[in-house]
Amino acid sequence: MTNTPRSTHWDIFCTVVDNYGDIGVTWRLAKQMVNEYQIPVNLWVDDLASFSHILPTLDPLKATQSFNGVNIIHWKEPLPVAFVAGAMLIEAFACELPEQVKAQLAYLHQNAPKSVPIWLNLEYLSAEDWVEGCHGLPSLQANGLKKYFYFPGFGAKTGGLICEQNLFAERDAWQADTANKLQLFTDLGLKDIQAQDTVISVFSYETEALPALCELWQQSAEKIHALIPKGRSLNSLTHLLPCDIAALVPGQQINHGNLTLHILPMTDQQGFDRLLWSCDFNIVRGEDSFLRAQWAAKPFIWHIYPQEDDYHLVKLEAFLKLYCDNLPPKIACYWSELNLAFNQAQQSAVSLHWQNLNPVNLPLLHHAKQWPINALNAADLATRLVQFVKNS
Ligand SMILES: Cc1cn([C@H]2C[C@H](O)[C@@H](COP(=O)(O)OP(=O)(O)O[C@H]3O[C@@H](C)[C@H](O)[C@@H](O)[C@H]3O)O2)c(=O)[nH]c1=O
């Protein structure tokens, strides 16, 4: 048996199930651990082509490469580089670790127990009450090792929420000067957006709620711009498009009454955050864009990732309850109803609640600004994770 101290680096393993959320969350976390805690991080990812959509400078053909100080490794069989255990091993969203890694863990457990990394499964974010009771629980594995369940969440006893230390200061500085958003729209190739126009970003899954909203926006008294990346939202809007989705190009504009649809280029995560800061209202989805819309301090609709037996509606209602806790009851009711109707593709209800709400409604905007501070509960996910390691 040896007493070699374990290496200080962290390994994060991520499989891309579909979409960009799994890689989106792990990429944010990896960048933050390097940038704020100077912890070397290996991010093992099985699908670099998907990853390159949110990190355009990534080369999907390279086995290893480094961005923002993170060592990105293409996770394929056999592993392109040998796995060396560090201080922390994170498997994201219950992905199955490679055999080589599992064998290494079992070997260390038998022969050098002090070198065994802390092993945890990073779970999906949920606002449900039970999360506080399950966060941090260990589970004994067949190889005799303990694996912990790490649950992100909104409560003080959860694993917290991913949020960089300077994010709110950067956002406030950005939002303080209208020139920033106008310059961003220009840089993205979007034309004819004036400072006073209403701008709405749309990053959702397919839903019949979208055509209903577009119909309303076409008849609006003021100009409305909907910024939509090539992707799933457009599948629900084909009747408004001049050609097949494949033939659309970023920067293209499609006018219908007072609504202009703009085809948005995909950017890296920093560009995406700035986009959300720059819009008056954001329609987001999944896990990471959902959180970033909250950090943008703007009103939003959350199109939650659909789950079997409509379980996602339970998760949605848990979040709506939390978010609305100290909102004036009338606004809370309109905003919740809007989110529920959107997620259930109820066209007339979506239109009704959108009109009731008036997205630039001041109390909702004030709430959106205060919410991020309350939601963080004094410590973000990275801070809590570092504390978790210290306590383990
Ligand atoms: C549009 C856009 C998105 N993004 C990023 C922001 C996010 O990190 C990521 C999108 O992730 P999400 O918002 O989570 O939505 P998603 O639908 O892509 O991912 C989903 O995948 C499923 C498998 C999970 O179970 C869901 O919980 C969810 O995470 O893409 C960019 O970086 N640039 C862009 O231009």
Which atom of ligand 1 has the smallest separation from the CA of 125? Answer: 27
Q: Is 287 in the pocket of ligand 1 (CB under 6 A)?
A: yes
For residue 25, the CA-to-ligand 1 centroid distance in Å is: 8
Q: What is the pLDDT of residue 360?
A: 58
Q: What is the pLDDT along the chain (392 residues), one digit of tens a residue?
A: 444 556 799 999 999 988 899 999 999 999 999 999 999 999 999 999 999 999 999 999 999 999 999 999 999 999 999 999 999 999 999 999 999 999 999 999 999 999 999 999 999 999 999 999 999 999 999 888 999 999 999 999 999 999 999 999 999 999 999 999 999 999 999 999 999 999 999 999 999 999 999 999 999 999 999 999 999 999 999 999 999 999 999 999 999 999 999 999 999 999 999 999 999 999 999 999 999 999 999 999 999 999 999 999 999 999 999 999 989 999 999 999 999 999 999 999 999 999 998 765 788 999 999 999 999 988 999 999 999 998 88
For residue 115, the CA-to-ligand 1 centroid distance in Å is: 34
Q: Is 50 in the pocket of ligand 1 (CB under 6 A)?
A: no
Q: What is the pLDDT of residue 142?
A: 85
3-state secondary structure of 152: coil
Q: Is 31 in the pocket of ligand 1 (CB under 6 A)?
A: no
Q: What is the pLDDT of residue 143?
A: 83
Which atom of ligand 1 has the smallest separation from the CA of 22? Answer: 29
pTM listed for this prediction: 0.96
Q: What is the pLDDT of residue 7?
A: 72
Q: Does domain 167-376 have CATH number 3.40.50.2000?
A: yes
Q: Is 339 in the pocket of ligand 1 (CB under 6 A)?
A: no
For residue 289, the CA-to-ligand 1 centroid distance in Å is: 6
Q: What is the pLDDT of residue 392?
A: 85
Q: Which candidate, 303, 274, 299, 272, places its Cα nearest to that of 287?
A: 303
Q: Which candidate, 248, 235, 233, places its Cα nearest to that of 342?
A: 233
Amino acid symbol at 253: Q
Annotated catalytic sites, by residue?
A: 22, 287
Q: What is the pLDDT of residue 5?
A: 54
Does residue 324 come out as left (phi exceeding 0), alpha (psi in the -120 to 50 range) or beta? Answer: alpha
For residue 7, the CA-to-ligand 1 centroid distance in Å is: 32
Cis ω before 78 (30° cut-off from 0): yes
User: How far from 242 is each of 6, 245, 310, CA to CA, in Å?
Assistant: 59, 9, 34
